Chain A
Amino acid sequence: MPIHFDAVSFTYPGTQTGVSGVDLMVEDGELVALIGPSGSGKSTCLKLLAGFFRPDHGRINVDGHDVDTLSPERRKLGMVFQNYALFPHMSTRDNVAYPLKVRGAARADRRRTADDMLERVGLSGLGDRATKTLSGGQQQRVALARALVFEPRALLLDEPLSALDAGLRVAMRDEIRRVQRDAGIATIHVTHDQEEALSIADRVAVMSDGKIVQVGRPDEVYDRPRTRFVARFVGQANFWPGTVCGPYEVDTPIGRLSHLQEGSRPGDKALVLVRPERLDLYFEDCKTPPPNYFKGRVSQDRFLGSIRRFDFAVEGTVIRVETRDRAAPMAVAIPPDAVRLLPPGDNE
């Protein structure tokens, strides 16, 4: 069932922190990732939705109904906490069956439904185990099963993968996505890990200083960020200050770049963005150089396994490049469609 944040503002009592003017629509079955640095208000949004705090202004709707007057236990929202918050004195099955117990389900029904749910998250047969004997990934699945077993109206995930080690985290992403698709409910996933957000979400909402800066499909946010902050938060980037000098041309410290972006007038200041993996490498000098062709040399080389990230020195400045190639190029070219012009004001 859809979730709708309508101009929601909230300030923690006695502080300046909180969220302001948050508008967000999450459709049925959709997974929206809320990302941002710590303190940007993403967890606060989740806590407001869960009902731990009440907005100062604005409304939160679930399935068309204002939920702001409801206490958390009456909102029917499944939530997975960062530390899972499994009940330590209950078995795995009793943890999963707890939402059914407080709703007055009969013992046999509870047991059957909980076991079914454990099977759906790939934990069949572990119902009798104490939760502390389970691995981190298994505890995560128990928390997910418990949050979904009572058929909640929406699913709230608060940094659910941050306590797992890197390899398991990637596997659990797919697992969460699979279970969420299976349940077909609106889901908000809070994370500070941009890669996790881009890989798992239907749409990504980037937050900064209590506001949502940009919402869009992961590729949109990555390829066409609206500000320098968004561009930097979702990935590596080259930034150069620029001055528009003609249609589809911009002057930068590394030279004149041609681009394909509409809507700029000569004389306009701009911030030029180029993603490091978008550059073309040349290992011999090119007789008929492509647009935005720069000769130079590799000044810093970092081997990261699957890719190499190096600095390419060009006339006193550097271009950051990512590539799978092992050889050192003698020139690079920036395809015009890889050049993005952002508003200059955002100096963060």
Chain B
Amino acid sequence: MRAITGAYLLYLAAPILLLFVGSFGATWTGTLLPSGFTTEWYVEVFTDPSFRRAFETSLIVVLCTCVLNTLIGLPLAYAINSAARAGVRTAARIVSLMPIAVPELVLAFGFILVFSSDTLPFLGTTWLLVLAHVVLTLPYLLNVLLADMASLGLEDLERVGATLGASFKNRFFDIVVPGLQHSLMSGLITVAAISIGEFQLSNLVAGFLSRTYPVVLLQAFYGATGFACAATVVLLVLAMLAAAAGALTARGAQTR
């Protein structure tokens, strides 16, 4: 058992380790390991204008996706949770989970069909990219929020708030939002991690000047190996930071 687990972990970690090693290697052609040590690849990645632009685009897209997710997700989760009829709740949950079940490629083709038309010529804009990411990530946030709403006993908290004289506005901002702040945070970090690493949909929907980091990264593999490794490590570090922050926030929510 232990041997299998060890082998599996090695299998998982080996490519990542190799990437890391490769990003500092001066030359790497045909051999198992690169030779020489250099930080030049990282300098090159950071000074490459198309990579810089993609990095900035990615950050903007992540930020906007998170903001839009909050503005849409909180009220939507609240509405689903407080829908009186159980059937409505189930239907809303299924609809909200659709983007997880539907392959991203299908989603992307849908976007292309709709937004390359003359009436809605938005294909290639950053805004459309953000919108695509929101569609993709919102279900994850909704799931986290809905689970937390159930475990908090939000319905009773709101009812007691009402008997104590709190208006709907009071209840939403004094009870619902603060009660959900931890799950909102951990949900948003999941959203950010997905948005940072998203490739399929972005690759098809993004315009030439609004390409996100993973899309541009694909180009790197046609160039020097070390450069590709360094560019990938940058993405990896970003995604891992997001995941770690997510884990920490989730733990904070549990000890609440």
Contact = CB atoms under 8 A, between A and B. Distances in A.
Interface of A: 50-52, 71-79, 81, 83, 85, 87-89, 98-99, 101-103, 132, 146-147, 150, 156
A73 B164 CA distance: 6
Contacts, number: 69
B179 A89 contact: yes
30 contacts: A50-B163, A52-B159, A72-B163, A74-B165, A75-B163, A77-B163, A78-B164, A79-B163, A81-B156, A83-B153, A85-B156, A85-B157, A85-B159, A87-B157, A87-B175, A87-B179, A88-B256, A89-B178, A89-B179, A98-B161, A98-B164, A98-B174, A99-B164, A99-B166, A101-B174, A102-B166, A102-B170, A102-B174, A103-B165, A147-B164
A88 B152 contact: yes
Contacts of A150: 164-165
B164 A85 contact: no
Nearest to B180: A89
B35 interface: no
A120 B166 CA distance: 24
Contact of A81 (B160, B165, B179): B160
A83 B153 CA distance: 9
A72 B174 contact: no
B132 to A, nearest CB: 34
Return the 6 tightest CB-CB contacts between A and B, nearest first: A72-B162, A99-B164, A85-B160, A79-B163, A85-B156, A89-B178
B167 interface: yes
A150 B164 CA distance: 8
Given A51-B162, A79-B160, A98-B164, 11 more contacts: A50-B159, A50-B163, A76-B165, A85-B153, A87-B174, A89-B179, A102-B165, A102-B166, A103-B165, A147-B164, A150-B165
B183 to A, nearest CB: 12
B90 to A, nearest CB: 15
A88 B162 contact: no
A272 to B, nearest CB: 45
A71 B164 CA distance: 12
A72 B170 CA distance: 13
A102 B164 CA distance: 8
Of A71, A81, A87, the most chain B CB neighbours within 10 A belong to A87
Name B's interface SS.
helix
Contacts of B200: none
The interface size bin for chain B is 20 to 34
B162 A71 contact: yes
Interface string B229-243: 000000000000000
A69 to B, nearest CB: 15
A88 B179 contact: yes
Contacts of A77: 163
Contacts of B39: none
B82 interface: no
B38 interface: no
Contact of A73 (B156, B165, B256): B165
Contacts of A99: 164-166
A102 B167 contact: yes
Contacts of A50: 159, 163
B228 to A, nearest CB: 47
Interface in B130-185: 152-153, 156-157, 159-167, 170, 174-175, 178-179, 181
Contact of B164 (A89, A132, A146): A146
Contacts of B167: 73, 102
Contacts of B165: 73-74, 76, 99, 102-103, 150
Contacts of A71: 162
Contacts of A146: 164
A83 B163 contact: no
B8 to A, nearest CB: 40
Nearest to B84: A13
Nearest to B156: A85
Contacts of B166: 73, 98-99, 102
A88 B148 CA distance: 13
Nearest to B158: A85
A77 B164 CA distance: 7
Interface in B112-132: none
Contacts of A83: 153, 156
A223 to B, nearest CB: 36
A297 B182 CA distance: 67
Nearest to B160: A85
Contacts of B159: 50, 52, 72, 81, 85
A74 B168 CA distance: 12
Nearest to B163: A79
A214 B174 CA distance: 42
Contacts of A72: 159, 162-163
Contacts of A101: 174
A73 B163 contact: yes
Nearest to A99: B164
A150 B174 CA distance: 18
A79 B156 CA distance: 11
A81 B160 CA distance: 7
A103 B178 CA distance: 19
Contacts of B179: 87-89
A49 B159 CA distance: 13
